[in-house]
């Protein structure tokens, strides 16, 4: 399958490259050409034997092609819990509302609830997710069947999953199909015993692999870890040699100087979740401090129970807006920095090094931003328009692995929206009855 996007503006996200007018061509799951109009003729000169015929040629009408957004932290199947328990203190929210419902979820429920999230991802230009949830195999199936790129992370804690399951997923999901991969991880320090954490650290050493987890989301969690072990969560986990092969933390809101030194030394990623941190009153992450130290920051929505929407546009605005507020400096964390977090840094954090930019040979995970909308006009600065005034309605097309999964309001994930909404309502009704 060969697709030609022409008459486009192109934002490659390659370092230092400005937006240009040109074309992008894909063949199967790869980008085979990405360049300016003048380079098209050059390409044909260099490849005279391949006067390519295309299965589809798309006139982009000067709209923008760019790499898809990477949602670097989510719990997709928590769609069921969206707007079910809000405006509550964090602990009440978790213990009285979230956990009892989650206890009733089956692997099949999670398959459909994940697919509901996928609809929202693709209509918002998200082409990869870094997902942590309860039943990894049914999540992987949901993503494969819908054509969503998914990197899962181990979610083991004292109450669910096991280190054995994490190792099994690591060995089976990596390479199982072209959509799924798996990274070692656990839920959080505060939900795992020291023994359990030591076993995960052993796995990291066995496979020489990075580890990701929730770290220092709240002040309470951080203080309690200090009481237990005399160290912050970052310092305690590092003392177990958890991050000897890198990895990263979700949230990382309440960190000190020593924590940042560890993040830097271990080559770790910070995945910031400003929407969730705002709604759950967890605090404002010091992302300007991380960036100043050269610690890469990626961006995630967190789950739909704590956010509640799965839009990277909102996260981008909040990431820079909250950083400006925190630092009392309207110039910090500029729009381009935020776009990099939402694309390149996210891809690298997730181990998707071939999905980070638009370039020949890279994976064809591409979105088209509709510039023919009032919130994108006038065209003073497209990147700033996307970060400060963009929203999912600006996404015209989402391609994952060379297949268009969303285009002008139409979804292509193998199941119709009516059928999927019906399934989700049935799950909701069943669980309400069981509770
Ligand atoms: Zn989370």
pLDDT at site 49:
66
Closest CA to 259 of 189, 320, 327: 189
Q: What's the gap in Å between 81 CA and the centre of ligand 1?
A: 14
Model pLDDT for residues 171-187, shown as the tens digit of each residue: 999 999 999 999 999 99
Model pLDDT for residues 118-146, shown as the tens digit of each residue: 999 999 999 999 999 999 999 999 999 99
What are residue 259's phi and psi, to 5 degrees? Answer: -60, -45
DSSP state of 156: B
Q: What's the gap in Å between 47 CA and the centre of ligand 1?
A: 48
Q: Does any domain span residue 424? A: no
* CB neighbourhood size of 83 (10 A): 8
pTM of the model: 0.97
Angle at 309 between CA 348 and CA 341, to 5 degrees: 25
Confidence check: pLDDT of 96 > 90? no
Q: Does any domain span residue 420? A: no
CATH number, domain at 300? 3.20.20.140
CATH number, domain at 400? 2.30.40.10
pLDDT at site 50:
65
Q: What's the gap in Å between 342 CA and the centre of ligand 1?
A: 17
Q: What's the gap in Å between 7 CA and the centre of ligand 1?
A: 40
Reduced to 3 states (helix: H, G, I; strand: E, B; else coil), residue 240 is coil
Domain shared by 159 and 42, yes or no = no
Q: What's the gap in Å between 5 CA and the centre of ligand 1?
A: 36
Share of the chain above pLDDT 90, in %: 91
| C-alpha pair distances (Å), 226 with each of 3, 89, 223, 232 | 55, 22, 5, 5
Residue 291 near residue 337, CB atoms below 8 Å = yes
Q: Does any domain span residue 429? A: no
What are residue 411's phi and psi, to 5 degrees? Answer: -100, 145
How many structural domains is the chain composed of? Answer: 2
- Rounded CA separation 365/383 (Å): 19
Q: What burial class does residue 116 get, using C-beta atoms within 10 Å of its C-beta: 0-12 exposed, 13-18 middle, 19+ buried?
A: buried
Q: What's the gap in Å between 188 CA and the centre of ligand 1?
A: 9
Parent domain of 399: 2-67+364-411
pLDDT at site 42:
84
Which H or E run contains 180? Answer: strand 180-188
- Rounded CA separation 179/149 (Å): 5
Q: Does any domain span residue 423? A: no
Domain shared by 127 and 152, yes or no = yes
């Amino acid at each position: 399958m060969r697709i030609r996007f022409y008459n486009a503006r192109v934002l490659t996200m390659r370092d230092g490259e400005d937006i240009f007018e040109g074309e992008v061509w894909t063949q199967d799951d790869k980008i085979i050409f990405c360049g300016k109009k003048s380079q098209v003729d050059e390409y044909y000169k260099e490849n005279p034997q391949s006067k390519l015929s295309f299965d589809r040629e798309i006139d982009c009408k000067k709209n923008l092609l760019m790499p898809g957004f990477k949602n670097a932290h989510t719990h997709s199947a928590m769609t069921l819990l969206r707007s079910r328990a809000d405006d509550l203190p964090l602990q009440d929210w978790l213990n009285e509302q979230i956990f009892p419902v989650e206890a009733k979820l089956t692997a099949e429920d999670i398959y459909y609830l994940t697919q509901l999230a996928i609809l929202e991802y693709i209509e918002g230009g998200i082409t990869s997710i870094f997902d942590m949830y309860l039943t990894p195999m049914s999540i992987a199936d949901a993503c494969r069947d819908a054509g969503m790129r998914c990197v899962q992370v181990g979610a083991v804690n004292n109450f669910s999953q096991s280190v054995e399951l994490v190792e099994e997923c690591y060995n089976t999901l990596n390479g199982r199909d072209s959509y799924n991969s798996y990274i070692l991880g656990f839920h959080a320090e505060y939900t795992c015993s020291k023994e359990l954490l030591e076993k995960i650290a052993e796995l990291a050493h066995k496979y020489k692999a990075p580890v990701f987890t929730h770290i220092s989301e709240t002040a309470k969690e951080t203080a309690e870890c200090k009481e237990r072990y005399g160290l912050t969560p970052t310092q305690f986990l590092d003392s177990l040699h958890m991050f000897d092969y890198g990895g990263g933390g979700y949230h990382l809101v309440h960190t000190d100087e020593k924590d940042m030194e560890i993040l830097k030394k271990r080559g770790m990623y910070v995945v910031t979740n400003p929407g969730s941190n705002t709604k759950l009153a967890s605090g404002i992450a010091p992302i300007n401090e991380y960036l100043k130290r050269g610690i890469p920051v990626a961006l995630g929505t967190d789950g739909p129970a704590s956010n509640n929407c799965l839009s990277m546009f909102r996260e981008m605005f909040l990431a820079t807006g909250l950083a400006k507020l925190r630092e009392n400096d309207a110039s910090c964390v500029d729009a381009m920095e935020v776009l990099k977090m939402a694309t390149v840094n996210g891809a690298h954090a997730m181990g998707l090094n071939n999905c980070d930019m638009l370039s020949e040979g890279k994976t064809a995970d591409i979105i088209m931003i509709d510039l023919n909308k009032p919130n994108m006009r006038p065209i003073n600065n497209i990147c700033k328009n996307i970060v400060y005034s963009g929203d999912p309605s600006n996404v015209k097309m989402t391609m994952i692995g060379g297949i268009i999964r969303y285009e002008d309001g139409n979804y292509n994930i193998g199941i119709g929206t009516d059928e999927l909404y019906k399934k989700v309502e049935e799950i909701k009704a069943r669980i309400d009855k069981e509770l």
